[in-house]
Chains A and B, each alone.
Chain A
Amino acid sequence: MVPHIEFDNVTVKYGSHVALDQISLTVPPKSIIGIIGPANSGKTTFLKCINRTIDFIDTAKVEGNVRVSGDDVRSLRNVYELRRRIGMVFPLPVGLPLSVYENVAYAPRRSGMHNRHDLDQLVEKCLQQAMLWDEVKDRLHTLGTKLSGGQQQRLTLARALSHRPEILCLDEFSIAIDPVTTMKIEDVLLELKNEMTIVLVTNLVQQAHRLADQTAFFNQSKLVEIGDTEKIFTEPENKLTYEYVTGGFG
């Protein structure tokens, strides 16, 4: 089986600062990989390599190969199609200066979906998956930027789902969301696993434990250890990993 995401000896430098150091890992389709690690360990850079938004950082240099479904992302001519196939949620919620409805309908419209009925259905489905529908269904036409921080974060999640991605990258998606809603979204993610691969970057070690099939521990730009989540959390090979998952790190 071709791995859905494959990092082959990838190194990323911002100028002289090494952000990712010789990372190699594979993610099989329809699985959840949890990425854990302290701040500044390269987790977000890892995500940016997958959908090539690393291109927008002028100083960044990427070496090695990143393959999605077997294709090297740097040889792709249609990078927009790559990004459409990858949903991305970053920790700082960004509501686009459009209505809630148009926020979610943005990506489908850009890729040519104009039928009002289809759009209505898609918007409702995405907002429900992001656990936001009940709160905004009566004000779909207010500005997305006027929602609260936690609501905007769920709006970002709904937007990431709106272009029906095959890979969903979540970078600290739950930092502004209350625990009850977070648990509900986690249930949705487990359902979504049936149709997409999920890369879950999280500071909540237990969130990775609950959701991930395999877990990777990053530290100081290096991949310290990757393995089945149960193994990482019960008998990791590396001492640093053990300290991090048991809370004795540092």
Chain B
Amino acid sequence: MADANRSQAGCYVVHSAEKGTAGPNFQRFPTMEEAVSAVAGQGSFNGHQQPSNLTKSNNSLVIAHLSNEQSDASQCRPRHRFYVDTHLLGSGGDGTERDPWPDVPTAAKHILSMAGDGKLNLRPNEQIVIESRKMFTATRLEKKKMRSQRIAKGVFFCMTLSLVIPVFAILGYLFVQAWPALSWDFVTLNPKRMGTEGGIWAPLVGTFFLVLMSLLMAAPVGVMAGVYLNEYAKDNWFNRIINLAVVNLAGVPSIVHALFGLGAFVLAAGMGKSLLAASLTLSVMTLPVIITSTREALAAVPKSFREACWNMGATKWQTIRTIVLPNSISGILTGVILQVARAAGETAPIIFTGAAIFLPVEDNGVGYWLPYTLKSEVMALSMHLYTLREQINNAPLAMQYGTAVVLIGLVLSVNSVSIALRVYLRSRKKW
């Protein structure tokens, strides 16, 4: 019943949508078979343009199912869409955009046989569109691919931006707040009256010595352990346990390191709160990361270099000294320096182990530059900032922010030394 209604509802119209001509170029046919035959160039067609030719200006053919009164197929919904690529050499595929037919007669032949199989049932106001697929134009699938590619790129860019903006916002805000306090005197003068007046020389020099001491202890141990683990250690249970320990140690919170330092160095080893205990604690904290980054830098040197040396009778140490270390030193130093920056900024590990709340150094002479012994307590920038903020009521805001700016400037300048070093050593990379 429904089928009968459909066939009676009107006629089939072939449109050759030629641009630049006045009005649509079309003809009516009583059945779809005749319409398709006309498309194939077999039946009669009274248009200006032979419909079997798809050209640049005439790049689609439409077979529409319309009522007798209608002549405009533009309101019709495309039910089937087929593609023709006249550049194809073969006999073509299934008429999809990905695998088009080579010419319109072939398309008509396939459409007729599909209609014969009952696969094409045009309801009124539906149409079949045969489009010319141009060479080197994107298919729908490719357009979709490009769209999702653009979206992915955009999302990742936004994430990057959301990372960069806070960095500049923080730096800018710190600078603005600290501006009234910033001066050469602020950096070079001792703090006075619990830090509410004067400068920050004592904590600055304290931080310097803390970092220097912890670096002197952590860097050689960490680098050598990394070399051992990567170059000498065989893959057995003992070394797997060491690896596991290193990885886990890297994840220990700094306040736990602080408690460990208090127990082990300050109390058990009898060092008391001192520069030595604090820098030992800092070096224990930075060791695992130095070991890991050293191993990564060493692993980046191709194994074939080592094997070539061993084949010539070089010992492992000769190989490490002459080939492996010279080609991984940039990565190793980068890792070490980044840990220096981290140590400079940490507060927790030094609170219990050696940081003094207020301990100015001498105002001039040797005591100004070398104020500390291993046994003395020290001031430190991070601790000083904490003190000004939380422990003292009337510390000027600008001085708090000034301390933060100097601390962050210290960290950033250490980082940029590391970047510069890496760029320099990379430029000398030899493979």
Contacts and interface: CB of A to CB of B under 8 A. Distances in A.
B323 A88 contact: no
A94 B58 CA distance: 61
B176 interface: no
B430 A143 contact: yes
**Residue among B235, B304, B313 with most chain A CB within 10 A:** B313
Contact of B431 (A83, A90, A97): A97
Q: What 3 A-B pairs have minimum CB-CB distances, sorted nearest first?
A: A84-B313, A97-B430, A107-B312
Contacts of A159: 308, 312
A73 interface: no
Interface stretch (B92-100, B135-143, B314-322): B314-322
Contacts of B326: 97
B313 A111 contact: yes
20 contacts: A53-B307, A53-B311, A56-B310, A58-B234, A80-B313, A80-B315, A83-B312, A85-B313, A94-B304, A94-B305, A94-B307, A97-B323, A97-B326, A97-B327, A107-B314, A110-B312, A143-B431, A145-B431, A156-B308, A162-B312
A94 B312 CA distance: 13
Interface of B: 234-235, 304-305, 307-315, 318, 322-323, 326-327, 429-431
A106 interface: yes
Interface string A142-168: 010100000000001001101100000
Given A83-B312, A143-B431, 15 more contacts: A51-B311, A53-B311, A56-B307, A58-B235, A83-B311, A83-B313, A85-B313, A88-B312, A90-B307, A92-B304, A96-B305, A96-B323, A97-B429, A106-B309, A145-B431
A98 interface: yes
Contact of A94 (B308, B315, B430): B308
Nearest to B234: A58
Interface in A209-243: none
A120 interface: no
Interface residues of A, number: 29
A110 B323 CA distance: 12
Contacts of A143: 430-431
A98 B322 CA distance: 9
A143 B431 CA distance: 8
Contacts of A85: 313
A110 B315 CA distance: 9
Contacts of B312: 83-84, 88, 106-107, 110, 159-160, 162-163
Contacts of B323: 96-98
A187 interface: no
A83 B315 CA distance: 10
A55 to B, nearest CB: 9
Interface in A60-95: 80-85, 88, 90, 92, 94-95
A54 to B, nearest CB: 11
B304 A106 contact: no
B235 A106 contact: no
A84 to B, nearest CB: 3
Contacts of B318: 110
A182 B294 CA distance: 42
A96 B309 contact: yes
Nearest to B431: A145
Nearest to B318: A110
Nearest to B303: A56
A98 B430 contact: yes
Given A96-B305, A98-B430, A83 B310 contact: yes
B250 to A, nearest CB: 26
Given A53-B310, A145-B430, A106 B322 contact: yes
Nearest to A162: B312
B431 A81 contact: no
Given A53-B307, A97-B327, A106 B430 contact: no
A90 B314 CA distance: 17
A9 B309 CA distance: 29
Contacts of B307: 53, 56, 90, 94
A88 B305 contact: no
B428 to A, nearest CB: 10
Given A94-B308, A159-B308, A80 B314 contact: yes
